[in-house]
Chain A
Amino acid sequence: MSAETMLAFETDCHIFSGCGFDAPGLHNFVFEPLFTIGGFEFNKPMLLALLSTVVVVWFFWAAFGRAKVVPGKLQMIGEAGYDFVRRGLVYDALGKKEGDKYVPFMVSLFFFVWMMNIWSIIPVASFPVTSVIAFPAGLAAIVYILWVFLTFKKHGFVGAFKNFTGYDKSLGWVLPLLMVIELFSNLIIRPFTHAVRLFANMFAGHLLILMFTIASWYLLNGIGFVYAGASFIMTLLMTAFELFIQAVQAYVFVLLACNYVQGALAEHH
Chain B
Amino acid sequence: MNALNLAVEVPENPLVPPIPELVIGLIAFFIVFGFLAKKLLPNINKVLDERRAQIEGRIEDAEATQAEAQQVLADYRAQLADARHEAARLRQEAQEQGATLIAEMRAEGQRQREEIIAAGHAQIEADRKTAAQSLRQDVGKLATELAGKLVGESLEDHARQSRTIDRFLDDLETKAASDATKAEAGR
B28 to chain A, nearest CB (A): 4
- Can you name 19 A-B residue pairings with CB atoms under 8 Å? A20-B2, A25-B6, A27-B9, A27-B10, A30-B9, A46-B20, A53-B28, A67-B44, A68-B47, A69-B47, A103-B41, A107-B36, A111-B32, A112-B29, A112-B32, A132-B17, A133-B15, A133-B16, A137-B22
The residue from A3, A27, A45, A196 contacting B21, defined by CB atoms under 8 A apart: A45
Q: Which residues of B contact A112 (CB under 8 A)?
A: 28-29, 32-33
Closest to B48 in A: A79
| Complex alpha-carbon distance, A78 and B45, angstroms | 12
Asked if B43 contacts A53 (CB within 8 A), the reply is no
Q: Which residues of A contact B102 (CB under 8 A)?
A: none
B12 to chain A, nearest CB (A): 10
A167 within 8 A of B: no
**Binary interface profile of B, 37-65, with partner A (CB < 8 Å = 1, else 0)?**
10011011011101100100000000000
Asked if B37 contacts A105 (CB within 8 A), the reply is yes
Closest to B2 in A: A22
The residue from A20, A25, A64, A111 contacting B44, defined by CB atoms under 8 A apart: A64
Asked if A26 contacts B47 (CB within 8 A), the reply is no
Asked if B32 contacts A139 (CB within 8 A), the reply is no
Interface size class of B (residues with CB under 8 A): 35 or more
Asked if B33 contacts A49 (CB within 8 A), the reply is no
Q: Which residues of B contact A15 (CB under 8 A)?
A: none
Q: Which residues of B contact A231 (CB under 8 A)?
A: none
Q: Chain B CB within 10 Å — which of A25, A68, A138 has the most?
A: A138
A232 within 8 A of B: no
Asked if A64 contacts B14 (CB within 8 A), the reply is no
| Complex alpha-carbon distance, A43 and B17, angstroms | 14
**Binary interface profile of A, 88-110, with partner B (CB < 8 Å = 1, else 0)?**
00000000000000011101110
B26 within 8 A of A: yes
A40 to chain B, nearest CB (A): 6
| Complex alpha-carbon distance, A16 and B43, angstroms | 62
Asked if B17 contacts A138 (CB within 8 A), the reply is yes
B186 within 8 A of A: no
The residue from A22, A46, A61 contacting B24, defined by CB atoms under 8 A apart: A46
B4 to chain A, nearest CB (A): 10
**Binary interface profile of A, 130-145, with partner B (CB < 8 Å = 1, else 0)?**
0011110111001000
B31 within 8 A of A: yes
Q: Which residues of A contact B11 (CB under 8 A)?
A: 26, 29-30
Q: Which residues of A contact B33 (CB under 8 A)?
A: 104-105, 108-109, 112
Question: B residues within 8 Å of A by Cβ?
Answer: 2, 5-6, 8-11, 14-22, 24-26, 28-29, 31-33, 35-37, 40-41, 43-44, 46-48, 50-51, 54
Asked if B35 contacts A49 (CB within 8 A), the reply is no
Q: Which residues of A45-75 are within 8 A (CB) of B?
A: 45-46, 49-50, 52-53, 56-57, 60-61, 63-65, 67-69, 71, 75
| Complex alpha-carbon distance, A56 and B37, angstroms | 13
Asked if A109 contacts B29 (CB within 8 A), the reply is yes
| Complex alpha-carbon distance, A72 and B9, angstroms | 49
Given contacts A30-B9, A132-B21, contact A65 B40 (CB under 8 A): yes
Q: Which residues of A106-135 are within 8 A (CB) of B?
A: 107-109, 111-112, 129, 132-135
Asked if A108 contacts B29 (CB within 8 A), the reply is yes
Closest to B24 in A: A46
Q: Chain A CB within 10 Å — which of B9, B33, B36 has the most?
A: B36
| Complex alpha-carbon distance, A7 and B24, angstroms | 28
Task: Taking A133-B15, A196-B15 as given, write out 13 further A-B residue pairs in contact, using a Cβ cutoff of 8 Å, ordered by the A residue number.
Answer: A27-B10, A50-B24, A61-B35, A63-B40, A65-B43, A104-B36, A105-B33, A112-B32, A112-B33, A137-B17, A138-B22, A138-B25, A138-B29
A126 to chain B, nearest CB (A): 18
Asked if B32 contacts A4 (CB within 8 A), the reply is no
The residue from A40, A41, A133, A138 contacting B14, defined by CB atoms under 8 A apart: A133
